[in-house]
Amino acid sequence: MTPPARVQAAIDLLDLIIAAAREGGAAADTIIARGFAARRYAGSKDRRAVRNLVYDAIRLCGELPRDGRAAMLALAQRLPGVAAAFDGSTYGPPAINPNEKAAVPGVAPAWLVTALAASGLGEAEQEALLERAPLDIRVNRLLAARDDIAIEGAQPLAFAPDALRLPPDTSVDKHPAYDSGLIEVQDAGSQLVTLACGVAPGMRVIDLCAGAGGKTLALAAAMANQGDLLATDTDRGRLQRLPPRAERAGVTIARTLLLNPGHEAEMLADETARADVVLIDAPCSGTGTWRRNPEARWRLTADRLTKLEATQARLLDLAATLVRPGGAVVYVVCSLLDAEGADQAAAFLERHPGWQAAAIDLPAGTRHGAGMRLTPASDSTDGFFVAMLRTT
């Protein structure tokens, strides 16, 4: 593909991504994969170049652009090579009209910028939310030690005991260590907030929003495969991915329970007041993971955020019923908005007088409200809020 053809391909994909963001359609990665499947003539270098153009444009535009051309015009204002591709050549985009309006660069939609600032994130912290994310893996301590894993370019992270940071283009899923269950792809921040649970062998633990089980597997490793670990979720497709992952990782203590939305308390009645720790990796806006899913900020609305906040509060109240006296709820969101983090923890403590916030000792992060916060700018991880709420 010629440079103009690459730019036009990126514009075409951006049109689809923008429409999907507006209508609640497929994620950008899915749309790009489908686009490349329809362009089998594109070689690996072409695909990489087009993908980079698409994501560079997404990261640049804070508000949802009018269309893909407007987004790419904004990028052209910063990159002369992109601007030169608007030459009207065959398969390339038409020449730029002097009266055309490019999309406006920015971190996020204005209402979200205001919310981030109100949550204590300055300009540098906000901009870091859109940098390219690193590639981290967690070494499965059930089967290996970090020093046992040899992957070219891997660097141990001093602040995360089981983490290795790999070169961005590493094909982790093709490495023998992955096939053998020795490693899992997991951001260092996600590893740290799991460590914050402080689980130990023999405990009874519930992962209330387990999803596909990334944190469940990390919990099992911290428990040395001893105890009882219940992973629940309302998403059948995601939860079904956990058993084969657990088998590959040598995890034998994890059991799964698919919950019916709205009937969680009823289905968990047998677990009432029995857990030492309940982890809530709550559904959230994902503002802390924009580095990986930058178009997510185009999808989030104030109404959607309000609904997420209600779900988070409900899950916290549910978790409180599952913890034994002296046990703890560990509340985690991959969001940096106080409405989903510090404010939720504070509201829970107001609703539950017999509970208190417990100190969390992590090798990274800063105190924030009743818990701790990890950010890309300060900690080189995805953004997280984590709080430990303990009953007396």
The percent of residues above 70 in pLDDT, for the chain, comes to 100
Q: Is the pLDDT of residue 272 over 90?
A: yes
Q: Where are the beta strands (DSSP E) in 99-227?
A: 135-139, 155-156, 163-166, 183-185, 204-207
Closest by CA to 53, choosing from 84, 87, 7, is 7
Give me the pLDDT at residue 128, please: 97
pTM comes to 0.94
The pLDDT confidence band at residue 32, using thresholds 50, 70 and 90, is very high
Q: Are 137 and 185 in contact (CB under 8 A)?
A: yes
Give me the pLDDT at residue 87, please: 92
Average pLDDT over residues 126-147: 96
Give me the pLDDT at residue 57, please: 97
Residue 205, CA atoms < 13 Å, CB-side half-sphere: 31
Q: Mark 121-133 as b/e (b = at least 16 C-beta within 10 Å).
A: beeebbebbbeeb
Cβ count within 10 A of residue 391: 16
The pLDDT confidence band at residue 39, using thresholds 50, 70 and 90, is confident
Give me the pLDDT at residue 216, please: 97
The pLDDT confidence band at residue 38, using thresholds 50, 70 and 90, is confident
Q: Is the pLDDT of residue 133 over 80?
A: yes
188-391 CATH fold: Rossmann fold (3.40.50)
Q: Is the pLDDT of residue 40 over 90?
A: no
* Annotated binding-site residue numbers: 233, 281
Q: Is the pLDDT of residue 186 over 90?
A: yes
The pLDDT confidence band at residue 169, using thresholds 50, 70 and 90, is confident
The pLDDT confidence band at residue 41, using thresholds 50, 70 and 90, is confident
Average pLDDT over residues 170-182: 93
Superfamily of domain 135-185 in the CATH hierarchy: Sun protein; domain 3 (3.30.70.1170)
Q: Which has more pLDDT, 35 or 114?
A: 114
Q: Is the pLDDT of residue 363 over 80?
A: yes
Give me the pLDDT at residue 71, please: 97
Please provide the average confidence, as pLDDT, over all residues in the chain.
95
Q: Is the pLDDT of residue 86 over 90?
A: yes
Give me the pLDDT at residue 392, please: 82
Average pLDDT over residues 311-327: 97
Q: Is the pLDDT of residue 268 over 90?
A: yes
Average pLDDT over residues 87-101: 92
Average pLDDT over residues 297-305: 95
How far apart, in whole angstroms, are the C-alpha atoms of residue 279 and residue 319? 8
Q: Are 153 and 178 in contact (CB under 8 A)?
A: no
Give me the pLDDT at residue 51, please: 93
Q: Which residues are catalytic?
A: 334
Give me the pLDDT at residue 42, please: 77
- Alpha-carbon Rg of the chain, whole angstroms? 22
Average pLDDT over residues 117-144: 96
* Annotated binding-site residue numbers for S-adenosyl-L-methionine: 233, 281
Give me the pLDDT at residue 68, please: 96
SS3 128: helix
Give me the pLDDT at residue 317, please: 97
Average pLDDT over residues 275-289: 97
How far apart, in whole angstroms, are the C-alpha atoms of residue 194 and residue 206? 12
